[in-house]
Every structure is written in structure tokens, then in C-alpha cells.
Amino acid sequence: MFKDKTIVLGVTGSIAAYKAADITSKLVQAGANVEVVLTDSALQFLTPLTFRSLTGRQPVTSLWEPAGEVTVKHVSLANAADVILVAPATANTIAKLAHGLADDILSCTILAARAGVIIAPAMNCNMWDNAATQENIRTLQSRGFIFVGPETGHLACGYEGRGRLAPVDQILALVGSVLNKKKDLAGKTIVITTGGTREPLDPVRFIGNRSSGKMGYAMAAAARDRGAMVRLISTVDLPESAGMEVTRVQTAAEMLGAVKNSVKGADALIMAAAVADFKPSKVASEKIKKASASLDLKLEPTTDILGEVKGKFVRIGFAAETSELIDNAERKLDAKNLDIIVANDVTAPGCGFGSDTNKVTLIFRDGHMEDLPLMSKREVADAILDRAVPIFAPMARVSGSIAARGA
């Protein structure tokens, strides 16, 4: 699985850095081309000679090393990588990656890469449990970074807790899994909408919903990583991933126009946006003053985007509900002529708007159902695409649609 694959191994300044030599040795023995990147802190634990002896290549230790007349080293490494593995990864490196900092050769390489990134943390247990570290990890996971470990046990600092580097064999197994992941959407163009629309009441206020856009961004990242060309139509400003065309919208009407333009020649449409069902009948030109104790607000329905976008589509939808989950989802499945609907109770723990996880039930056109356990939204996205690919893959290149509406 590793033969002739290029793996960029980033080593950072943890006492567990010595295990990076074992990882390197095993990857090389399996036939991989290993490019080692050492941070300044890593050089306090290991010398470049160690990795040069194992790989036959000079490790990269500085952003300013010459790389030839027409190449920039961090860009050439990023382009060559089939996967990037950071093992061990310190709290400092995780924080830099989460905030998009690029002040050394490793962070620059990862920022420039389109390959999958695997992070194997190793640090003091209190540093791991720190709220800032956990928030940074959630941020990276939402962008598609894959974490392995850490393990619980005795730490070099004398503490007992979670912070040990994951076992080498476990790390290598995950690298192999990422390398072998099918590009089953290669050649497909998928349009994805995400976020909650905002319908203006006046220049200051709007009618909206609690959608964070995380589910749509997870769908977009999953589709991109499986080889699809992604056209993302978004109402929110979550961090954008490389390899996507992004269109910003606010209202349901703007989203409808963007969808109509984007689905031309596309293979699928994932409607992960939570489109407002109603909008004010009249939008005030100036801020409405609090002149009385009450305000009568007249609303009218927004346009049904799926109803307006015509064509021969594979249709998959999300039903975010607060009661009668299955009944409401089945009615939407029939009304919108969907092939699959993904039903989720947004009142359940870990499943609400803004959460990083979701627990869903897949309901298929033929009537059978499949319950999925509580998973990260990225894992949910991959599970949905796993079921969708067999449906639309046999179709000739037509205007495709995977419609989704969710958190």
C-alpha cells in the first residue's frame, strides 16, 4: 500500500520525536518515499543525520534552504505529498495549524498542500486537556485533518494521563487507510450549499436560523477529498478549504440564483443549507424603531430551491427535525422526490446546530432505513457519500443533484 507513495513526515519538538525514526524506517521498508521535515524544536531531540541514514534523503530543516533554480521547497513538498503525517505533533504546532500560521517549513508545507493531513499528538496530559488545545483540535477536524491518539499512560514528564504518542503500528495503519482511499468521485462536479439564509427585515435585522454551516463544509471537504470538483455556495464564513470554488450568498433568492448557475454541467447538488422557509413581505428601508410594545410582521414563503431546479437528478436530502423525526422525513422524501433523506433530531445531545457531531437515520426511496451512530460531521458526510456514489455513478454525465438540508 505504501510502494512508490510520497509521504511527508513532519517531526516536531516532543520527547516522542525519537519514535519518528521508527516510523520512517518502517515506511521506507514498505517502499514509500519519505520526505522528512524537522522543526527547530525537533532538532533539539534528533539530528538530520538520523533521517538521512534511513531515507537516503537530506531532511528539510529550514524554510530558507535552497531548493533549486525553479522550485520553492515547501511548495514542491506539498505538491509531491500523497499524505502528510505529523508525528509527533506538539500543542504549539497544532495551534499554529489551526490558526493558519506559516512561520516555518512544516506549517508552510501543510498550508500549501492539498493532500490529506494526519496528526499524531504527543504532549503533557494537562496541555492536551487544555481548552485551547481542544478547540484547536476541533477546528482542524472540521477542516478534514485526521487525528490518531494520543494514548493514556505514563508520560516522560512524570505525569500519568492522556498524551502518549499513538502506537507506531496504529499510525502506519491509518496512513495506509488514507493512501488507499478511493477517489470514487474523480471527474464529478458537485455543487454544495451550506449555512442558514438570512432574510432582511430592515437594514439591521434579519430572519434566520441557527445553522452553523459545519455539515455543508464537511460534505464539501469529503467530496473534494474523494476527487470531486466542488462548487460551494455558502452563507457563512467558515474557513475555506483549498480546491473549491466558493460563491457567497445571504438570502434564499440569492442562493436560488447561485444554484441555477452552478448546477449547469454538474453531476450533483448537495443542498446542505438550512434555507429560511419564510421572509418578510416588505423590507423596511430604514431601521424599524421600537416605538410600541408590539410589532405585526407579515411573512411570505421563500422559493423552494429544489422545486425550481429542474432536471434528472439523484436527490438526497437532510431533514433537521425537533419531533416526529421519521414521519416528517418520510413526507419530505416523497414531496421532494428524493432517493435518500438523512434525518436528524436537532434536539438530541451532540446533534444540534453548531455541534461538531451528528447522529442520523438514512431513509431510502425503497423504504428501508439505516441508523448511524453519533459521529463527527465529517464521518457523517463520508457515510452519506458512500451510499450516494452507487446511485449516481452509473448515470451518464447529466445535471446531477444530491439535495441536503441540515445543520
According to DSSP, the residues that pair with 162 across neighbouring strands are 152
Beta pairing, strands 278-280 & 299-301: antiparallel
Query: What would the pLDDT profile of 325-375 be if each residue is shown by its tens digit?
Result: 999 999 988 888 788 888 998 888 888 788 888 999 999 988 899 999 998
Give percent of the chain with pLDDT exceeding 90. 30
Q: Sketch the domain layout of the chain as residue ranges.
A: 6-179, 189-392
According to DSSP, the residues that pair with 52 across neighbouring strands are none
**Common-topology check for domains 6-179 and 189-392:** yes
| CATH (residue range 189-392) | 3.40.50.10300
Task: Give the model's pLDDT for residue 180.
Answer: 65
Strand, coil or helix: 299:
strand
Query: What would the pLDDT profile of 120-141 be if each residue is shown by its tens digit?
Result: 999 888 889 899 999 898 888 8
d(CA 47, CA 358): 44
Q: What confidence tier does 229 reach under pLDDT thresholds 50, 70, 90? A: confident
Choose between 203 and 67: higher pLDDT.
Answer: 203
Mean pLDDT of the chain, nearest integer: 84
| CATH (residue range 6-179) | 3.40.50.1950
Q: What confidence tier does 243 reach under pLDDT thresholds 50, 70, 90? A: low
Mean pLDDT over 373-388 rounds to: 88
Choose between 316 and 331: higher pLDDT.
Answer: 331
What lies within 8 Å, CB to CB, of 289 at 6+ separation is none
Residues belonging to the chain: 407
Q: What confidence tier does 70 reach under pLDDT thresholds 50, 70, 90? A: very low
Mean pLDDT over 305-309 rounds to: 85
Cell 496504529 -> residue: 170
Task: Give the model's pLDDT for residue 242.
Answer: 55
pLDDT for 404 beyond 60: no
∠ CA 143-146-147 to the nearest 5 degrees? Answer: 125
pLDDT for 50 beyond 50: yes
Mean pLDDT over 59-71 rounds to: 66
Binding-site residue ranges for CTP: 277, 287, 318, 332, 336
pLDDT for 67 beyond 70: no
DSSP3 helix / strand / coil % (the chain, rounded to 5): 35, 25, 45
Nearest to 82 by CA among 114, 109, 39, 106: 114
Cell numbers placing 26: 518502517
Q: What confidence tier does 394 reach under pLDDT thresholds 50, 70, 90? A: low
Active site residues: 157
According to DSSP, the residues that pair with 248 across neighbouring strands are 234
Q: Side by side, which strands form the sheet with 244-248?
A: 244-248, 229-234, 189-194, 268-271
Buried (b) or exposed (e) across 52-74, using 16+ Cβ within 10 A? eebbeeebbbebeeeeeeeeebb
Query: What would the pLDDT profile of 75-123 be if each residue is shown by its tens digit?
Result: 778 788 888 999 899 999 999 999 989 888 899 889 888 888 999 999 8
Task: Give the model's pLDDT for residue 177.
Answer: 66
d(CA 75, CA 213): 30
* Helices 377-392 + 214-225 axis angle, to 10: 50
Binding-site residue ranges: 277, 287, 318, 332, 336
